[in-house]
Amino acid sequence: MRTSSTRRDCLLALIVFALIAVLPMLWPSRGMSDFVIRLAAFGIFATSLNMLVGYAGLESFGHGLFFGLGAYSFALAMQRLGTSIPAALVLTLLLSVVVAGIVGAICVRLKEIYFAFLTLAFQMLLHSLIIAWTPLTGGDQGLTGGVPRPPFLGIRLDQPYHLYLFSAGLLVLCLLGMRHIVQSPFGYTLRLIRDNPARATSLGINVWAMRLAAFVIAGAFGSIGGVVMSLFVSGAFPDFAYWTISGEAIFMIMLGGTTLFLGPVAGAVMLLVLNDVVTKLTEHYGLVLGLIILLFALGLRKGLADYLAELWRARSAQRLAMPLPAAAPFAAPSNKLSGE
Amino acid sequence: MDLPALANCVTSLSCIVTQSTSGLIIGMLLFLVAAGVSLIFGVLKVINFAHGSFYMLGAYLVLTVYGVSDSFLLAVIAAALGVAVFGLLFERLIISRVYGSQVLMQLLVCYGVILILDDLVKIIWGPEFKSLGMPPAFQKPPYLVGGGVVPVYYLFLIVLTLLIALALGLAITRTRLGKIVRAVAINPGMVSALGINTGYVYAGVFMLGGLLAGLAGALAAPVRSIVSGMGLSVVVESFIVTVIGGMGSVAGALVGSLLIGLVRSFGTIGFPLFTEGLMFLLMAVVLVLKPSGLFGREG
């Protein structure tokens, strides 16, 4: 069963990647390819947050820590160390694993609200470090001067189409990796811990260690989102580590819903489109976005995809519960059977 | 890190006095905000992430009323009452609808409100930094204590806030209303079974929180620059204070705020890059040693 579903996921990923790869030939537009790159960054980031929120039940409000960390450490590794892109990627992953290990070790044993705010506090700590450490990070001006993009393995990220493909490839690979993790026994252990930590403990599961592992994995994936962003803007800015990044990611997973694996990606699409439309129409972006958030959060109170799924389930349950109409008596069951 | 500078400071009386006073007023202003956050958290189990926006509103309201009436006292009262009413509306219309939801949903709602308020403030008052200037009543030569400078306004602020802290602590521990609030914090179902409308208590706690945060913003206006988004660091610090002091405890909020204030003012000398880090470090130490906070009850 598992191998077949894994094979199905891989196949699906390949098809999606192929479709994305040919898209620019059918629809050559700078706006479209920029959108896909941004979607890659936020799709990876939001899905990694949903690993925590939706699967492990860890409601982090400071996941932007890893977005900022990923962007800055990748950009700095490229600028200061002059490494190759894969090496910088590995360095970034290592750094975010270490940071996530330390932050997670302190945070994951805390209760909900404490956990949410403590993660936020750590994110704000990174933000203030970035602002203060001007010689290294460029302070509030951001890390400018461009991120060098030396070619590797025949991939030349200084060319728009290569960058586009590379980002889409990272998106697909990361989604596949995360999908594999949440469908693994480890992923089911996380769901058990989310639903009933006491039961998990009584079964001999080390809840703290499992939560920490989830936090570290999500942090590492989240930092890849930051890497894509820093490649896209060719730099890194303090906003990447600001709390609004976490807020936006939360809105994305709330928009898309936490129960479906691809929900956060759908949410990322919706929020990015919304972003583009609103910023084109008005300069009061915060006002409009805030109103939409309120309408949405106070009206639906759950993810759009979750809401639709529930609606669907309720309707089919209603249909099942309905008494059989008089016009379809038991008299002619053979017709029905043969009809199917 | 600049440890020699810190060592120089703690060996000179004038530096100690100057830094302590500035630390105390940071702490006092923070206390007014944190007390509300802590009370709301203690009673409703909800973190009001938009509390920093209450503080910001207080500062802007005082700016406008002072500009119109030219009376600082009137402006402060108007700002505090205005934000209290806003707190009431916020509780009734918005946050009461997500009681019992996921924490992230509550935070998301607050995020929406913060975005709206930050933008509204920019539309109404403009995006640039504003400052109120010292009201004439406080434009007097500062006191000199051991060579250190203590402005009159700072002294006023410290005394006023201490009085408020005292009144708040007495109100919660000694009065009937305070008893009801504490009872709701522990067992709202039982309180409501005894015939007390807990909805009023929730609304009242938010109003009180708004009043204090508005007051903090108003009192901060002469000594801080006023800008859209000024509330965020305050609300994050308030949460640190709540963790350090223990939720729902007025004494804890006061001690936590003063600790943070002093860490900030001395930290800027010794660790200019890492002042915020020191606060988080302090919080982490408290969480490890005493998870319920310095003044919190166990469990």
CA angle B168, B42, B52 (to 5 degrees): 75
User: pLDDT (tens digit, 9 = 90+) per residue, B12-46?
Assistant: 888 888 888 889 999 999 999 999 998 898 888 88
pLDDT at B291 over 80: no
Q: CA B26 → CA B19, B33, B118, B132, B262, distances in Å? A: 11, 11, 23, 18, 8
User: pLDDT (tens digit, 9 = 90+) per residue, B231-267?
Assistant: 888 888 898 898 888 877 888 899 999 999 999 888 8
Q: What is the pTM of this model?
A: 0.82
The answer to whether the Cβ–Cβ distance between A251 and B108 falls below 8 Å is: yes
Q: Is there a domain that residue A100 lies in?
A: yes
- Residue-level pLDDT at A338: 38
Q: Tell me how many domains chain A contains.
A: 1
The β-bridge relationship of strands B143-145 and B148-150 is: antiparallel
With an 8 Å Cβ cutoff, the interface of chain A facing chain B consists of 53, 59, 61, 106, 110, 112-114, 116-118, 120-122, 124-125, 128-129, 132-133, 243, 247, 250-251, 254, 284-287, 289-294, 297-298, 301
Instruction: Give the pair of three-digit tokens for residue B22.
Output: 């500035």
The answer to whether the Cβ–Cβ distance between A254 and B272 falls below 8 Å is: no
- For B278, name the nearest residue in chain A, comparing CA atoms only: A125
* pLDDT interval class at B1 (50, 70, 90): low
Contacts of A287 in chain B (CB under 8 A): 115-116, 119-120, 123
SS3 string, B162-188, reads HHHHHHHHHHHHHCHHHHHHHHHHHCH
Helix (H, G, I), strand (E, B) or coil at A60: coil
| Facing B239 at nearest CB: one of A117, A132, A247 | A117
- Residue-level pLDDT at B165: 93
Of A157-161, A320-324, B83-87, B220-224, where does the model show the most confidence?
B83-87
Q: Which residues contact A6 (CB under 8 A, 6 or more apart)?
A: A180, A183
DSSP-derived letter for residue A139 is G
| Alpha-carbon gap, residue B139 to B135, rounded angstroms | 7
- Residue-level pLDDT at B16: 85
| Facing B112 at nearest CB: one of A120, A125, A297 | A297
| Alpha-carbon gap, residue B107 to A120, rounded angstroms | 11
DSSP-derived letter for residue B297 is P
CA dihedral A249, A250, A251, A256 (to 10 degrees): 90
**What is the span of the domain harbouring residue A176?**
2-242
Residue ranges, chain A, pLDDT below 70 = 1-3, 301-303, 320-340
ipTM for the complex? Answer: 0.81
Query: Could you tell me which of A228, A246, A181 has the C-alpha nearest to residue A44?
Result: A228
Q: Is there a domain that residue A30 lies in?
A: yes
| Facing B119 at nearest CB: one of A112, A247, A286 | A286
pLDDT at B136 over 50: yes
| Alpha-carbon gap, residue B48 to A119, rounded angstroms | 16
Average pLDDT on B224-228 reads: 87
Query: Could you tell me which of A121, A287, A250 has the C-alpha nearest to residue B233?
Result: A121
**Do residues B59 and B217 make contact, with C-beta atoms less than 8 angstroms apart?**
yes
**Do residues A239 and A230 make contact, with C-beta atoms less than 8 angstroms apart?**
no
User: pLDDT (tens digit, 9 = 90+) per residue, B182-191?
Assistant: 899 888 889 9
Residue A166 CB coordination number (10 Å): 20
Query: Could you tell me which of B168, B189, B160 has the C-alpha nearest to residue B76?
Result: B160
| Domain range list for chain B | 3-289
Over chain B, what is the mean pLDDT?
87
Cα A336 from chain centroid (whole Å): 46
CA dihedral B59, A139, A105, A220 (to 10 degrees): 120
CATH domain B3-289 topology: ABC transporter involved in vitamin B12 uptake, BtuC (1.10.3470)
Q: Is there a domain that residue A50 lies in?
A: yes
Of A194-198, A246-250, B171-175, B208-212, where does the model show the most confidence?
B208-212
- Residue-level pLDDT at B299: 42
* pLDDT interval class at B96 (50, 70, 90): confident
Which of residues 81 through 100 in chain B touch A, CB cutoff 8 A?
A: 94, 97-98
| Facing A113 at nearest CB: one of B47, B123, B283 | B47
pLDDT at B292 over 70: yes
| Alpha-carbon gap, residue B101 to B248, rounded angstroms | 21
- Residue-level pLDDT at A323: 57
The answer to whether the Cβ–Cβ distance between A290 and B284 falls below 8 Å is: no
Instruction: Give the pair of three-digit tokens for residue B285.
Output: 């130490």
State the amino acid at position A196 in one-letter form.
Answer: N
Q: Is there a domain that residue A118 lies in?
A: yes
Q: Is there a domain that residue A184 lies in?
A: yes
Q: Is there a domain that residue A176 lies in?
A: yes
| Facing A284 at nearest CB: one of B101, B117, B123 | B123
**Do residues B211 and B80 make contact, with C-beta atoms less than 8 angstroms apart?**
yes
Contacts of B41 in chain A (CB under 8 A): 113
